[in-house]
Structure 1
């Protein structure tokens, strides 16, 4: 398997000497949440090679590559370029070696069953946030297309009543990125029309749908909450660019803002960040753009408290909620952050308190009394975004902090610490 050896050599603990104003220029990697569905889509082709560019060097991509090995899809990986051969899917079994390493492994269920008529996949993993993260919506989507699905002994078994699958009508109770990807992958090769309602409009979904259309899929309604798909017999390979990771861009922006820093972040698409940029400007961060996608932040002397909501696009992403909580510790006064996606995404709260932050949970909201000087401590990250929020907070704390849980960060960031080092942060692996 062509894995990222650098991630394997890194330890899961880092040291941060805080209290340093960051300054410099960095670039954003390709999006984790965009590239994973694109990899699954490329496996459907039986003609031509699919080339994915700007692929981040993260462990979630390593796990997807491991799954491609198991299902017999050939590929070549060269730095940030991943070439996937159009040889089709040979096997419908995904073991518990790779599937539990990431949440998005479950989307292969749609690709496998629409290609082979039968699939068996180990239950997905990923971050433990917001309570249980069931796969009910994925199962509902496949059943609407004539697939029998059951769960036994840690695996999901799917069997089609016929091939090609028969188009159907899917209505999600709530917008779900993962379930939408599963439904689309199953429907693009199905017979007839499939209507999928209450779908998300995140940029990552739109990039995924645009790639499929270029591959020959007949898709209408992308950019709206209703997607209409008319199945085709086959898809062909294309070259596709992965969009910049808007969560990494937000993470770097918050790190600069927390330390009172000055810097440039390249690879920021403004329309992907409108609500976040409005919030940051309203609290006193001096942000401008040049060359379309280069964000410039000037030093801010004082940040104001705020109230905000994180949720589905175009709102501020829920993935940034822990980061915004850390940002609020810098804002003198009472701030309130409400997460409408997850009802208990609070793994970071107890750890921020160790730094001396006044943070309280109120239902689905977090209240922060900001402006206090944070003091270094030993912290434990329990998921990807919680760990990056602790890194950002520690950068603004006085003294030396030690943070455990970098294995979570490697899932979504290929070189976050190296970028912080480039900005002048005193941070290193232990």
Structure 2
């Protein structure tokens, strides 16, 4: 078995079915939940830094539920208080974290457990692992996602990897500071893209925050969740110096004991989802607790494409209101390229649904996750003019429609499920039955309930 060929966790037998009857505008107000991509990094930082931490605006998603089961097994106390989560690495079921542990099997349910590796190494000097989960969007035959790059990053900071035992260890000196060019983890060092670049940067930021001395990271991934992690590290007392192409981190001084409180920022991918819902159904959605800066700064490439297509974003005192163009007069979006300097790969399936409303064709190329086109069969089943082309897909303007007897489509991953739900909401005709809808729990806090609050409830029937 190759190093990257860890066994994938078995898929749940009951994948859930969501039935959607679309063809009506979705209107209402949505409170956007905390950003999953930041939550997994904040949890890892709290553990590695040994900091009693309160996270607020915590979403009710699979990651959160998994952590509530997983962390106490590692000796880390967790207390949930509504949408707040208290983590105490020093007072778990024993008097302190138990040294030299292997990640429990439940870690395989979520991809974010990768970032527990630098955290537990910093906290206890050794960690074993057996499998990592997440959506099957990798380039392997089973869609497995890479993890070896995380090991290579940690080795750069002084960790040792035993492949036979599948464990990482640190010497008594802990992580060692130094310099690292993150372009080494990109498929193309000039374009800084590929499936390993983002994760390698996040692991390096965490290791640098726990290291002995000052670390300089060149050409790091710089999208919103990486910036949020740097903000958290700085708020805890570290010295963080950023330039256009590098970041320098000197860890916080020892001895800080006050509780660290961190409010998770709004989930940018939930913003993308609701903006797409409003646009393709001809509705108007008010995003509460989201500022124009959240959208323009966190979703700059997406925002530029939305404005080009004709979507409007109206700032209000309590948030931002999103709507499509008047009379559905969308403008063309000839090409959408996904890479760390452009739109999120997570946004890509939702832009594919938006493209069915635009004069085409629209060519979409995902340079991060090559397996993120599984929604294509579902879109074509609903009448979309969509097909594979070299390096990506092409989508023409299409009227989405389900047969009177209904349509059956299947979701294989989180954003595939989201794209099919949005496409079903935009479809006229019969009901759309979406199997695999349980994947929504990986990244959406009560999406069916929020749709119901937006007067789309009569269109939904869940069996999750």
The two structures share one fold, judged by TM-score above 0.5? yes
Match of 1:79 in 2: 82
Match of 1:136 in 2: 148
| Runs of 5+ unmatched residues, structure 1 | 1-7
Match of 1:61 in 2: 64
How far apart, in 2, do the equivalents of 1:213 and 1:95 lie? 28
1:29 is aligned to 2:33: yes
How far apart, in 2, do the equivalents of 1:290 and 1:374 lie? 34
- Given that residues 171 and 198 in structure 1 are in contact (C-alpha distance below 8 angstroms), is that contact kept between their aligned partners in structure 2? yes
Match of 1:378 in 2: 408
- Given that residues 202 and 312 in structure 1 are in contact (C-alpha distance below 8 angstroms), is that contact kept between their aligned partners in structure 2? no
Match of 1:12 in 2: 16
After superposition, the Cα gap between the structure-2 partners of 1:162 and 1:37, relative to the gap in structure 1 and judged at 3 Å, is same
Q: What SS class does the counterpart of residue 433 from structure 2 fall into?
A: strand
How far apart, in 1, do the equivalents of 2:80 and 2:88 lie? 11
1:336 is aligned to 2:363: yes
How far apart, in 1, do the equivalents of 2:367 and 2:222 lie? 16
Normalised by the length of structure 1, the TM-score is 0.90
- Given that residues 141 and 183 in structure 1 are in contact (C-alpha distance below 8 angstroms), is that contact kept between their aligned partners in structure 2? yes
Match of 1:5 in 2: none
Match of 1:283 in 2: 309
How far apart, in 2, do the equivalents of 1:123 and 1:182 lie? 17
After superposition, the Cα gap between the structure-2 partners of 1:414 and 1:365, relative to the gap in structure 1 and judged at 3 Å, is same
After superposition, the Cα gap between the structure-2 partners of 1:13 and 1:213, relative to the gap in structure 1 and judged at 3 Å, is same
Cα RMSD between the aligned structures? 2.3
How far apart, in 1, do the equivalents of 2:324 and 2:393 lie? 28
Match of 1:229 in 2: 249
Match of 2:447 in 1: 416
The worse-fitting range, judged by mean Cα deviation, of 60-69 and 353-362 is 60-69
Q: 1:403 aligns with which of 434, 437, 444?
A: 434
Q: 1:41 aligns with which of 42, 45, 49?
A: 45
Deviation per CA, 1:347-380: give whole Å up to 9, x if none.
1111211111111111222210113342251111
Q: 2:168 aligns with which of 130, 153, 158?
A: 158
Match of 2:280 in 1: 258
How far apart, in 1, do the equivalents of 2:254 and 2:287 lie? 43
Deviation per CA, 1:264-314: give whole Å up to 9, x if none.
122332322232222222222233222374233266322233123343455
Match of 1:109 in 2: 117
Deviation at 1:145, TM superposition (A): 1.4
Deviation at 1:384, TM superposition (A): 0.3
Q: What SS class does the counterpart of residue 320 from structure 1 fall into?
A: helix
Q: 2:181 aligns with which of 171, 176, 179?
A: 171
How far apart, in 2, do the equivalents of 1:288 and 1:255 lie? 16
Q: 1:173-322 alignment to 2 at 5 Å?
A: 173=184, 174=186, 176-221=197-242, 224-231=244-251, 232-233=253-254, 236=257, 237-268=259-290, 269-270=294-295, 271-291=297-317, 293-297=319-323, 300-301=326-327, 302-312=329-339, 315-322=342-349
How far apart, in 2, do the equivalents of 1:93 and 1:165 lie? 18
Deviation per CA, 1:129-184: give whole Å up to 9, x if none.
131422232112111111111334xx741012342322232222226333223223
Deviation at 1:26, TM superposition (A): 1.3
After superposition, the Cα gap between the structure-2 partners of 1:384 and 1:141, relative to the gap in structure 1 and judged at 3 Å, is same
Deviation at 1:117, TM superposition (A): 1.5
How far apart, in 2, do the equivalents of 1:253 and 1:213 lie? 32
Q: What SS class does the counterpart of residue 124 from structure 1 fall into?
A: coil
Deviation at 1:115, TM superposition (A): 1.9
How far apart, in 2, do the equivalents of 1:90 and 1:219 lie? 31
Q: How many residues align?
A: 418
